[in-house]
Structure 1
Amino acid sequence: MKKILITILVIMLSFNISFSDKRGNSNPYYIDTFDVYYKGSKISGANAYSFKILDNWYAKDSFNAYYNGNKISGSYGNSFIALDYGYAKDNYNAYYKGNKINGVFASSFITLDQGYAKDNYGAYYKGNKINSSHGNSFIILDHGYAKDNYNVYYKGEKINGAHSFSFKVINKEYAKDAFNTYYRGQKTNR
């Protein structure tokens, strides 16, 4: 009897069958023996054997990456990693909420905070490139503000006329530089 139970257990394990598949619990993804599901719908073409759930939104198999159960076009599953704040990357591209971000240098791409990310050459806010940004000197300040050596930004938009060298965030809504005060990224009237 003991030999029969051990044989059955070995067979179940070899076919990736278990009494409780912990890889899919409390997650919209579920990995079955041969198929993968997202919120009850089968993901066509997903490889159950190599499928890995990265977070509640991103997953990958040996060939592709997925966001909300949809294959991410042009993604490389073997090198794909989920980052923070909706960002992800593979060896060649970076993504925001499953969409490829154009012009990114994936090898230096990192997430920062408050929806910001950067590579060596530029910065991004919620997946959109911030024009005129300089990635090597780009830093997050607080409450949606950020700056590099040349410019200041509020929620991804350049604040025209703001002076980076003296710019400071005062509180949740106000900031200032040596010459002006700003409210939610807009210059106030003095």
Structure 2
Amino acid sequence: MYCSSGTDRVSTRMLSYEMRNFKVYFAGQHIPDARWSDFIDLGQGYGKDSNHVFFMGQIMENVNPFSFQVMDNSYAKDHQYVFQHGRIVANLQSQNTQVSLNRSEACAMPIQPVTSMNSMYTPDVASNMLSYEIKDFKVFFNTQYVTDARWIDFTDLGQGYGKDSRHVFYMGQLMQNAHSFSFEVLKKGYAKDKNFVFHNGRIAEGLSPIAFNN
């Protein structure tokens, strides 16, 4: 791991994502795997849609787009990993604490090996550290303001899920296909409503909500 220089930060700010003609581009290059309809340019070379996270136009592996946040100095994190320049540099769960990613602290963190893709999503542990909070008539998740959430009837459901009377959220991100009234959280990151089964905020294809109880 190395700490980014001022040159690194300047270069990433000069390069941004662009949506045109129903496509996503980075530095003028088309990104075929990016969904233009819900793509967000996060800055510092990062961008995401509901399926993937990108750094400099390339798909990042081992990352959850719902919980992904960009910090300073080209650092970013999701509910399990810390990234720099699009690569994993630390495992938050192994640290057993929330990490404040200023430059000096992040540079001091040890690099943690990734054993397998199967160990990536263990929201039971991560969600115990991250929760929703209502203050000043607003809803926050991990200190981030949740703009679409109604504070007056919001409920923290656990495991990163929350809902109000209109919407359902995972890791502070709006779940577009979830039905609030019938939504219920199960175990190990699973949840369901009258139409779908969800895992880590995404629709779990091939599973029926009628028969699925986890």
Aligning the two structures, in what range does the TM-score lie when normalised by the shorter sequence? Answer: 0.3 to 0.5
The structure whose Rg is larger is 1
Q: TM-score scaled by structure 1?
A: 0.45
Q: TM-score scaled by structure 2?
A: 0.40
Choose between structure 1 and 2 for higher RCO, CA contacts under 8 A separated by at least 6 residues.
Answer: 2
